[in-house]
Structures are given as C-alpha cells and as structure tokens.
Structure 1
Amino acid sequence: MFGYFESQVTNTALKTIRKKRPFVLSRSTFAGSGQFAAHWTGDNRASFQDMYYSIPAILSFNMFGITHVGADICGFGLDTTEELCTRWMQLGAFYPFMRNHNDLGQKDQDPASFSWEAQQIMKQALLMRYSFIPFWYTLHYEASMNSKTIIQPLFFEYLNDINTYNIDQQFLIGRALLISPNLVSQTNTVDVYIPQDVWYEFSSGVEIETVGQFITLNAPISKINVHVRGGFIIPMQTPGANLILGRGNPFSLLVAPSQFGNASGNLFWDDGDSIDSIGTNTYNYFEFTLTTSNTLTIDPLSTNYKDSPMRLDLIKVLGVSKPVTQVTVNGKVYPNYTYSVFDQILIIHGLDMNILVESSQIIKWTTST
C-alpha cells in the first residue's frame, strides 16, 4: 500500500507543479496503481529463463489493470551476452514499457556495446517499435478510458481453443498482433501456436497457410516473428529520431482483411503532454473501415487537435487475391499504386492526404474478375 499511495501523491504533485502529464515508474504497486504509475518487474537476471519469465509477468500485470509495464531488458543482475541481449531487445520492443537497464558493476549492455551486426538487429527492432507508435498510443488510450489490456494472452481472443490456455511464450498486442519470440539460446527456430484465424507475416505481408496448430518457424538471431491478424487495420507512422521529432512524420495504414474481406481499426492522437485532452476535447479520433467491396473509409470523429500535421502517405493492403486494375481516392482515379501478384499485396503510395479534414475520405480499388 505504501507504493500505491506514494505513486498517487507523486502523480498529483507532478501535475500540480509541471501542469503537464506525469510519468511515474514504480516496482512497488497495488491494485489500482495503474492509474498513477507505470510498473517494472524488478531485479531480474541476465538469463534466457528470466527473459521468458518476463512474458507471463507482463501478461499478469495487464490483467491486474497495470498496463504500462515492462522488464529490465537484457537483465539487471549478472553480465549479459550479445545473443541474449539481442533477443531480449527484440522481445522488449513489444513491451508496453521498454527499458534496457542493469546493475552497477555489470558490463555495459546498451546497443553500442555490441558488434555492428547486433547493433543493426537492435536498431531494426527499435524502428519496428516506433513505427507502431500510433497503434501503441491508441491501445493506451483504450486502456485508460475503457480498462482494456494492452498485452493479452492468446486465450483472451480464442476462449474455445484449449490449445491457447497454457501458452505463455507468445502474446497478443491488442487484438491485432501476435508476437512469438525465440527464447532458447543457440537455436534458429521457434515452436509456436497459430490460432485458427487469418494471419499475415508482418515482415513479408504474406498470408500464413498453416493455422489452428503448432508449427515451427524460422527464427534466426536477426528475426522476431510478428504476425498480423486478419480483420484489423493498424495505424503506423514513419519513425523519427525521437517521439517529439517524429510527430509530424507521415502516417500509414496496414490493412489486413479477414476471411470475409473486411477489417477495422482506429487511431487516437493528441499532443501527448496535456493533462486533460479528453475533458477539453483537444484530441483527434479516427475510425477506419474496410468493406467487402474493397472500399476503405477514413471517418474523422474528432479533429480538434491541429497543432501537429496528420498526413496519410501510404496504405498497404494484404491478402488482395486478384490483380488490381484501378484505385480511386475520393472518387478520382489515383495512379500511384503497385500490386504484387506473388505476395498478393496492394500498396497505395504518395497520398499526402490530410486526414484532419472534417469529412470522410474513401479509397477504393477494383480487381479483375
């Protein structure tokens, strides 16, 4: 209880003094602490076993209502290794709270401490994380407003599938991303469960053929397996050097159709700093809908925050099984698109679309019969 009340009073003091949104981090929390503070899971060790343990810990805290949570990446105690730290940075890129942290007297474990190859792998993991910032931010908004989880176990979405009940080495981000890390040293494959659903590999955009069973995936040191669930539209953004510098960067939409050809998603956006952007209605909120008629609609339900530009540059549509013959944007023929027959991916690029306009915008494509 001491940690709970300490977080509460610190949160209140920071709001009073700074007049801005506070960030409080604690490892001493209690039920309800999630409204005041983020949590980290304490002094772990630099071992593959502790990296694995971080997943059920973070899943548990999300169920406790403390959603902004993470573990000390690469391990707090003991000296880490390049292999372990590389794998853990890949996994940690999908923690709600990401921090590489270790004890005094331990060897350095920041990315620059390792080989050029390891640095590049860690850099790619960080770029992937930052490209998902609009998706992460929207999940945090939903957790704050509707008490939803940010990270959740597979059985939350697949209650009737008993194979998901004991899985604690994979997890979902929101409802749309499946993360399957390699948690075993000196291995290049990972055994995972792919629930009965439509799934696309994030890196390639290709639909997975084998679902509803355990399979073995390639997982070399350079790769963490991420899959996108059909039926969802994920807002993304070109990463910047930091979140402040990247705020004005172009947005993109990753569209993953379900087996029926439809999908939906949303995006919440504000200045990231004000205490009460909801109460003062100074935020933007969009809903995205793909129908079975190959029509993508962007509905701006609130566009009251205009201090930062919001321009949509690219739309990537997965699972387009027939060749695309034409794309229209708001009723006008749009020529800047590519379609891959082999991968079944449609990319509409160079849009430079201002999504802060107060009317719906419609992107539609026709396919050959």
Structure 2
Amino acid sequence: MTGNPNAPLRVALVGYGLAGSVFHAPLIATTEGLVLDTVVTSNEERRAQALAEFPDVRIAVSSDELWPRADELDLVVIASPNKTHVALATAALRAGLPVVVDKPIAGTAAEARELAALADERGLLLSVFQNRRWDNDFRTLARLIADGELGDVQRFESRFERWRPQTKGGWRESGDPLEIGGLLYDLGSHVVDQALTLFGPAVQVYAECDVRRPGASADDDTFMAITHASGVRSHLHVSATTAQLGPRFRVLGSAAGYVKYGLDPQEAALREGLRPAAGEPWGEEPQELWGRLGSGESPLTGGGAPVRSLPGDYPAYYAAVAAALRGTGENPVTALQAAATLDVLEGARRSAREGTSVTLLPHPTEENSA
C-alpha cells in the first residue's frame, strides 16, 4: 500500500464479463478512496468496452502481468469464471496483494479454508463479494428481526426464481464439475449466505437438484431445506424454470410474518448504466413493492401493514473493503463465512445425489454469521 494515507487505493480487476463489468467495475470506480487502475481480460471486445467506460484504465491481457507490478497495486478483485478463483486468489496472495473474490470463492469448503489460512499467514485481506447482504429486502428483514417485530423466527422462506425456459450456454450452465456451474453454486451461494448470516450455523441440509430444460446439463431448479443450530428452518428455492414467481421472502415468526415480492433494484440499475453517486438516491423502490408485516391473513388480500424497504446499498461493500485495507474497519465478508456457505452447498449436492438429509459437521472456531 502506498505510503500516502490519503492516496486512493489502486485496484486491479480480473475479468470483465457480467460480474466484472456490471457489478465490480462501477462499484469500485464510484467508491471514495478506490481507483480502478487495471482491467484484465483476454477478450478484445471487453477490452474495448472497459476503455470506453473507463478511458484512464490500464488493460492487461493476462493476470500474470499483474504480479510483477504488485508494488503498484493495493487490491486485486477476481471476477473471472468460478473455476479460476482459487488459482488466481492464491497467486495474488503470494504476490503480497489483498484480494476480493466473487462468490463462490471456491469449489469446496476445504479450498476456501486453505485460502483463508494463506491470507492469515501473509497478513492480507481476503474478502468475498456476497453483495446480496446489501439488498434492500435483506436489509429490511434484518432490521425487523433485530427490532423483534417478528417475535422468534421459526421459518425462513427465500426464493430467487426466474423464468428462463431456454438455456443460454456458457460455463454457468455447464454440467462439467470443473466449471462449478449450475444454480446450486450460483444463486445458491446467495440464499445460503443470507440464511446463515441471519440465523447462524446450519446443522442439517436436505436438497433436490433438478435439470429441467431441454439441452441443459447443470441444475436449473433447486430446493434446499436447512435446519439451523438456532432451531430456525430455512427453505430456499433457486430456479430458472419458474413460470409463476413466488415471494422473494416469506418469514414466519411467533408474533408476525413478513412477505416481500420482487427483486432488489440495484442489479437492474447497474445493467442500465446507472451509477451510485454521493448524495443521490440509490437502491430505492416504489411503495407498491414494499413488503408487508402482519398476522392472520395473506398480504394479497390486504393482510398486514406495508413496511418501507430500506434502500439497497451495494456501495457499502467496497466502502467497507476500503476501510478494512486502511485499518479502520472490519472485513465485510470473510473467507471462513464463505467456507460455511460451501459446507452447506456441498452437503446439499450430496443430499440431492443420495436422496437423504445430510448432517453437517460443526466448525466451532469459525464465524458463521456476520
């Protein structure tokens, strides 16, 4: 890190596909104290896109070009295909560079823990981009739980459903285990991380992973039932084949329930080219999309009262990373938290394969919730 504490932290971004161009680059570039220094992509079209959007950025064709320049950089962000995450994170840490890795950090919990150990050994930040902790609905639900509005939560239903009856192809839909594709590890990383963050460690998981679409080779319709050590049960759905979408959240407690439809608006805004700016509204949604809190009747027939959604706040993730790098804040998402999520995903994959519930071994020294 530069000796000038007021100098911006220089970030290299590896990968400029969906994750890199839509999420990471805009958030890095708009975070105070960070500057997007280098984009690494071997794709000529994406190199041109990066230069068009960030004219001052350096372009590298390979991540190998970064390591000799390690003393010119303060952070490496890995937004490349899943199968490259471990090798690239390892190379960056060995070069002495802090790292942010897009989810999932690795294909296995063991690999995630090995990366965490390497980062600790080198005294370097290793963080995982679990941006859905900063969704508007998740932030609102976390506040309701903290305020005791639901009483004791008994059941957490979370759905990340889409209607995409035709496959797109590419590594995300590949059935090759080396690609770490399919919805279990893609959207499943989000919904499991949210469940663990809210309700603590999982002790058992049951899963159903199906391949529904013609020509598909990776799971595209998956369900997980998690039992938490706290006694809460989480029912999690991720699907590309849902013709009628269910509520994003349905959370039932001893005093009340909370039901919320619709997705956080930040991804759509970023895809449209909108950018967060200081002092400007960001992550807001209209009142008709607010969730409802109440008991005894369906929200669709007027039950419950509307609860204003807290604004979504993806910018908070990189602001927290910058603070952690400067020693003024904590790592917003640790590799050990990501490993706990992978424990559940590995258990879910085994459960679906064997048709039985899987008991998860505890890791008592690890932090499984935020």
TM-score (norm 1): 0.29
TM-score (norm 2): 0.29
Higher strand residue share: 1
Structure with more relative contact order (C-alpha pairs < 8 Å, separation 6 or more): 2
